[in-house]
Structure 1
Amino acid sequence: MSDILIVDDERDIRELVSDILEDEGFSTRLAGNSDECMSEINAEPPGLLILDIWLKDSRMDGIDILKAVKRDNPDVPVVIISGHGNIEIAVAAIKQGAYDFIEKPFNIDQLMVVIRRAMEASRLRRENSALKRREVTSSDMIGSSAAFRTMVGQLDKVTKSNGRVMLKGPAGSGKEIAARYIHAHSNRANAPFVTVNCAGIEPERVEEVLFGRESTERGVESGLLEQAHGGVVYFDEVADMPLGTQSKILRVLVDQQFQRVGGSDKVRVDLRVISSTNKDLDSEIRAERFREELYHRLNVVPIAVPSLEERREDIPVLADHFIEVCNSTQGLPQRDLSDEAVALMQTMQWPGNVRQLKNLVERVLILGDSSGPIEARELPSEEEKQSDDGRVVLSGALATLPLREAREAFEREYLLTQINRFGGNISRTASFVGMERSALHRKLKSLGVVTSTKAGARVAHVDDEATEAAE
C-alpha cells in the first residue's frame, strides 16, 4: 500500500512534495484543508498521511485530524510537518500517535527517509497482526460423530449472519476452534479475530486491556475491542468477566462505541461478538455474579459444544490429526495408532476433553519410541491395573463383592464403555464384543443398560429403576 495523502494549506508545498514522491514511485492524493482531508480518508484510508499542523480556514487543526485518524484508522502512520514547529508541538504530536515530526523548511532526503521508515513500520505491524491471527488456533473442525455433525450444522447456520453466538461446553472441548470456524466461514473472514481471555486478565486491568488508554506520557494505546474493529471479538469464558466491566461491555453492545481509559473521545467499532462459557450462567445470574441483561444480549444463538466423551468415535481421527500437527510443527515422529491403542483411548476418561487428548498425544510422541505404531502400553490408564506377571489386579470395591454381583458390575461397566465408544451403535458394539445383536440386547436389558439421545448422539447409561427391578 503506497498511496500517500498530503495535507497542507500551501498549494506549492503539497504539490512539491507530491512531485517528489511520485518520482520515487509513490501515488499521492492532495488536500488543502481539514474537510478535504477527512473526505479523502473516509473514502479510502491512505497508506501514509503527511499532515501540516497549521491549516488556515479549517474546522480542525493537524492535532485534531491526528486524533481522529488514530481513533478510526490506527494503522495509518502519520508524519507531521510544520513551519511553526517547536518542541512542545512535536511532543504533543508524538504522544497522540504521530510516527515522526519534521519542521519546515525540511530536507527532502530527510523526508524520504522518514516516509520509508514509517511505511515499513506500518507494513510490519500489519503482517505481524495477520500472522498472529493465523497462528493462534486452527479453525479446522475434525470429526464425524453424530454429536459433532449436529454442532457443525448449527455453526454453519450462523456463519453468514452477524448474530451474537454463545458457545456452551466443558473446558477443553474446543469452543475457541468453533468460534474461529464461524469467523473463517463468515463475511468477516479477512478481518481480525481477537480473543479476550476473561479469566486471564487481571481484574484491575480489564478495562484498559479492552478499551485501551490515553495519557500524556504514552499517547494513545488501542485496546482489544479497537483491534477487533471490523472483525470478531471472542469473549472466552465470559462468566469470569468482572461485574463492573460487564455493564460497560453491555453499553458497547448497545452503542457500538466506547471511551478509552483516560480519554474523552468516543471510539466507534463494528464488531461481531462470540462468547463462550463452561459455567451455568443461569446459576451465575441467580448468584448475582453475572448481569442478566448482558446474558440476553450475548445469548442470541446458543450452541452446545459436546465433550469428548460424547463423541468418542472421533478420538482416532483427532489423535491422528494431532500426530500430524506435532510432526509438522515440532518435528516429532509421525506414528500410527495400533488397534489396541485406539480401543484403549476410546474407553478412557477425558475430563480435559480434546485439549487433554492433544496433550496426551504430544507426551507419547516425546517420550515414546521414534518408530513403529503407538501401542496401548504407552498410554496411561486410570482403570487398568496389572501385576508384573500380567494378572489383572481387582479394585478394592470389586474385590469385596460376591462373584455374581462382581460379574454383573464388570459386564455392566464394560458394555457401557463399549457402547459409548461406538456412539451408541449396537451393531458395531455387538461385532466388537463378539455377541449376536439380539443376545446383546437381552444382556443390556438384564443389566439395566439403556440408550438415549444426548447432543445428537446415542449415549448409554444405567437405568436405576430397571436395575432394581432385575435385582
Structure 2
Amino acid sequence: MIRGPRSREKLKAYYESYMKTGRPDPNVNPEVAASWAKSRAYGAPTDRIHTDHRLSREDFAARQRLHKEAISYLRHLTNNLRDFFKEYDISLLLLDEECVILKSYTMPFYQMTPGEIEGVRVGVEEIGTSSVSMAYDLQQPFWLFGPEMWVQDSHESDACSAPIFVDKKMRYIITMVGMHYQNMPQEAVMAVLKTLCYGLENYIQQQTRLKAQEAILDVIPFAVYHVQEGSEVAYANKLGMQRLKKIGIGRKDNKSFGTKLSDVVLNYRHTPIYSGFQGVLSHNREVTWITPSKTYEDITTVVPFERDSEDAVRSVVAISMPIEDLRTMVAHAAGFTAKYSLSSMVCASAAFSSVKEKALRLAKGRTHILLQGESGTGKQRMAHGIHQASPFATGPFIALHCGDVTPELLEQEIFGVSISREVSHPGKLELASGGTLFIDEIEKMPTDIARALAASLTTMESSRIGEETSRPINVRLVAACDTELRRLTERGSFDKSLYEVLSHSVIRIPPLRNRKEDIGVLGEHILSELAGLHQSSAKALAPDAVDFLMTYEWPGNIKQLQNVIEHAFFRTEGEVIHAEDINLFGDITLDARWKEDKEVFIKVWRVAGGNISRLSTLLHVSRVTLYRYLKKYGIEKSKIDS
C-alpha cells in the first residue's frame, strides 16, 4: 500500500497516544493499528532494533548458500544505483520468506553495519511494526512512515518493502530504508523498488524453470550438448559432462570448457556436428567418434540452432546415446528380462538346496556358468534366477537356443551381421552387453562358432559377420547342456576352448526322480503359480495325489510334472486334487493314434518313462504288441530314451 505524505506531527501523536492507552486513534491506518496490536502482544521492544534473534554463523552461511543466486543477482542489479542510494542515505536489504536479512547492500541499516544486521530476523515478533512486517502480512508493497514504526529509534526514517513472489508463493522481501525522511523521494524510491522487484522476480522464475529443465536433461539417458562455432561446448548435461571428461574435455571454470571438440575428436570433420554447422540436420544417425584414447559409437541427432543475419549457423544442439546403452534400453523394452528368481525354485530336499546355494554363490561373481542336467530339470529357470541374483541384474537377459536355428543363422544370431555399408545388425552378444546371455543346448553349437564365441568371451570384444570392426562387450554367458559336456569335448564333439571358458563354474541339476521328496512342494508351487496367472481360486494336492505322483519316475522331469499338474488344475472342479484326477499323459489323448503316428507313440513312450510294463498297463495292450510297434516304426529303445 503506497500512501501519500502524512503529517508527521499527527503520526507521532497517534503513536504516543497508543503507547499510553493501548487504543489506536481512529485516524491511524487500520493495517498499521492491527500491526501495533500484534507488536504489543508479542512484547516487541520499542527503544531500538535488537539483534538477539540472530541465526548462528553456520545456519546463516547455509541460508546464504541456499539463496546465493538471488543475493548475487540483486547485487548485479544495484551496481549502477549506488550513487542514488548514497545521495539519499538509503539502505537496501534483501530478506527471505522468514524475514531474515540475507544481505545489506548499501548504507548502514538503522546505523548498523552489515555484519551487525545480516542474519537477524526482523519480523513483527522481533522488532514490532515495520515496512517488512507490513509487506509480509499484507503480501503487497507497503510504505511506512517513521512515526508509524514500533521502534522509536526509527521515527526519523521512512521505509518501503515489497514482497517477491515465485509460483504464487512469497520467496523474498526487498526493503529500502531512508535514514532521513526529508531526503527520501517517494516516487523515485518506488520506481527503483518496483524495478528491482520485477527484475529479481523474473530472474528467480527463470532460474527455477532452467533448473527444472536441467534436472530433466540430467536424468534422461541421452548426452545433450550445445556446441558453438569453433566446436566450443557451451553446455552439456550430466551424461554429456561425464562423456566429455572421458575424452579429456572438462570445465576450465564454472562457465566454460577448456578444450574444443575438434582438438580431441580426430574425425571431427566427418561427424554430424561438423555437418550441422554447414546447415545439415542429422537424425538418429549411427556415428563413430575417434579419440586418442578410445573409439565410441553413438546414435546421434544434430539440429542447427542459432543463425546470424546471413543465415550462417552459429551453434548446434546435439543429442546422442551410446549404442551399448540404446541396446540395453531396447532389450528391456522388448522384455529381455529375467522372469524368475532362485527363490522360485522350491524344494524340500537337502540335495537341491545345496544346488541352489551353489547357484547363488556363483551368481554373485562374474565368471561364466555351465548348467548341466536332463531336459526339463529347470535349467532355464535357474539361468533366470542367476541373472537376477548377479551384478548383471540391471542389464538385459537374452536367451538363445542352439537347436532352433541353422549354423549359418546361429552365427549371425550370436555375432550380428553387416549386410551393407549402411545396414548392420548387432548380435545377441552385443545386445546382452551389460547383462546375461543364456545359450540353451550349447552342445549343439558347431565347433567353429564355439571357437569364435570363446575368443570373444576371452577378449570381451565382438565383431559382426562381414565387418572388421571390434566392439567392446561386457556379458556373462550362462550355458545349458542336457548331456555331460566334458565327455563331448573329450570325444572332439565340442570345442575345447569354449568348454574351458565354461568349465570353471559348473552346476549340475539333479533329475526329478532323484529328488522325489520335492514333488509335493513343487506341485503346490505350480498350482499357486497357475492360480495367480489365471486369476482363479487356489487348489491343493491331496496326500493321495502326492503319493501317486511320487510313484512315477518322471522322465520328463519338472517340465513333465508341470504339464500333468496343469492338466489336473483345469480339469478338477473342486479345490482339492486327488489321485484319480491326475492323468500322467497330461494333454496326450490315449486314443488309437499311437498305432498310426510315430510321434504320438514316442510321446507316450516317454511319458511311461521307457518302461514297457508301465506302457502296457497304460495302453491296455500286451508287451508283445508294443515290441511289434517298435519294430514297425524302425526305432530302438535306447534311441527313444535319449
Q: What TM-score comes out, normalization by structure 2 length? A: 0.47
Matched, 1:213 2:422: no
Relative distance call for 1:136 and 1:62 in structure 2 (3 A) is farther
Match of 2:267 among 61, 78, 89: 61
Q: 1:178 Cα shift?
A: 2.2
Q: Tell me the residue number matched to 1:129.
A: 332
Match of 1:8 among 227, 248, 252: 227
Tell me, in whole angstroms, the C-alpha distance in 2 between the residues paired with 1:378 and 1:308.
21
Tell me, in whole angstroms, the C-alpha distance in 2 between the residues paired with 1:192 and 1:393.
47
Tell me, in whole angstroms, the C-alpha distance in 2 between the residues paired with 1:244 and 1:168.
22
Tell me, in whole angstroms, the C-alpha distance in 2 between the residues paired with 1:167 and 1:173.
10
- Equivalent residues of 1:145, 1:314 under 8 A apart: yes
- Equivalent residues of 1:193, 1:228 under 8 A apart: yes
Matched, 1:312 2:512: no
Q: Tell me the residue number matched to 1:375.
A: 578
Q: Tell me the residue number matched to 1:73.
A: none
- Equivalent residues of 2:616, 2:622 under 8 A apart: no
Aligned pairs for 1:221-236 within 5 A = 221-236=425-440
Tell me, in whole angstroms, the C-alpha distance in 2 between the residues paired with 1:146 and 1:218.
56
Aligned pairs for 1:29-428 within 5 A = 29=240, 38-39=247-248, 56-61=262-267, 82-85=276-279, 93=286, 98=299, 100=301, 102-103=303-304, 126=329, 129=332, 132-134=335-337, 136-139=339-342, 140-216=344-420, 219-366=423-570, 368-381=571-584, 396=622
SS of 1:132's partner is: coil
Relative distance call for 1:344 and 1:273 in structure 2 (3 A) is same
SS of 1:334's partner is: coil
Q: 1:356 Cα shift?
A: 1.2
Relative distance call for 1:393 and 1:284 in structure 2 (3 A) is closer
Q: 1:378 Cα shift?
A: 2.0
- Equivalent residues of 2:568, 2:583 under 8 A apart: no
Tell me, in whole angstroms, the C-alpha distance in 1 between the residues paired with 2:269 and 2:540.
62
Q: 1:201 Cα shift?
A: 3.0
- Equivalent residues of 2:429, 2:462 under 8 A apart: no
Tell me, in whole angstroms, the C-alpha distance in 2 between the residues paired with 1:352 and 1:296.
29
Tell me, in whole angstroms, the C-alpha distance in 2 between the residues paired with 1:94 and 1:57.
18
Gaps of 5+ in 1: 42-53, 67-78, 399-471
- Equivalent residues of 2:397, 2:432 under 8 A apart: yes
Matched residue type, 1:193: F
Tell me, in whole angstroms, the C-alpha distance in 2 between the residues paired with 1:342 and 1:190.
39
- Equivalent residues of 1:6, 1:28 under 8 A apart: no
Relative distance call for 1:349 and 1:12 in structure 2 (3 A) is closer
Tell me, in whole angstroms, the C-alpha distance in 2 between the residues paired with 1:229 and 1:176.
19
Tell me the number of residue pairs that the alignment of Structure 1 and Structure 2 aligns.
Answer: 352
Q: 1:351 Cα shift?
A: 1.4
Instruction: Give CA deviations for 1:101-129 in whole Å, capped at 9, x if unaligned.
Output: 53565899xx99x979x99xx99973861
Q: 1:183 Cα shift?
A: 2.7
- Equivalent residues of 1:81, 1:103 under 8 A apart: no
- Equivalent residues of 1:9, 1:55 under 8 A apart: no
Tell me, in whole angstroms, the C-alpha distance in 1 between the residues paired with 2:364 and 2:535.
37
- RMSD in angstroms over aligned alpha carbons? 4.3
SS of 1:213's partner is: strand
**Bigger relative CO (Cα 8 Å, ≥ 6 apart):** 1
Q: 1:13 Cα shift?
A: 8.0
Matched residue type, 1:8: V
Tell me, in whole angstroms, the C-alpha distance in 2 between the residues paired with 1:354 and 1:252.
34
Relative distance call for 1:94 and 1:272 in structure 2 (3 A) is closer
Q: Tell me the residue number matched to 1:461.
A: none
SS of 1:142's partner is: coil
SS of 1:98's partner is: strand
- Equivalent residues of 2:328, 2:432 under 8 A apart: no
Q: Tell me the residue number matched to 1:430.
A: none
Q: Tell me the residue number matched to 1:76.
A: none
Tell me, in whole angstroms, the C-alpha distance in 2 between the residues paired with 1:257 and 1:160.
23
Q: 1:163 Cα shift?
A: 2.6
SS of 2:576's partner is: coil
Q: Tell me the residue number matched to 1:404.
A: none
SS of 1:8's partner is: strand
Tell me, in whole angstroms, the C-alpha distance in 2 between the residues paired with 1:142 and 1:99.
47
Q: 1:85 Cα shift?
A: 4.9
Tell me, in whole angstroms, the C-alpha distance in 2 between the residues paired with 1:344 and 1:353.
15
Q: 1:318 Cα shift?
A: 0.9
SS of 2:568's partner is: helix
Q: 1:257 Cα shift?
A: 0.9
Tell me, in whole angstroms, the C-alpha distance in 2 between the residues paired with 1:386 and 1:397.
6
Matched residue type, 2:445: M
Tell me, in whole angstroms, the C-alpha distance in 1 between the residues paired with 2:357 and 2:430.
31
Instruction: Give CA deviations for 1:330-388 in whole Å, capped at 9, x if unaligned.
Output: 2344211112211111112311111111122222223x13433112122124577999x
- Equivalent residues of 1:258, 1:268 under 8 A apart: yes
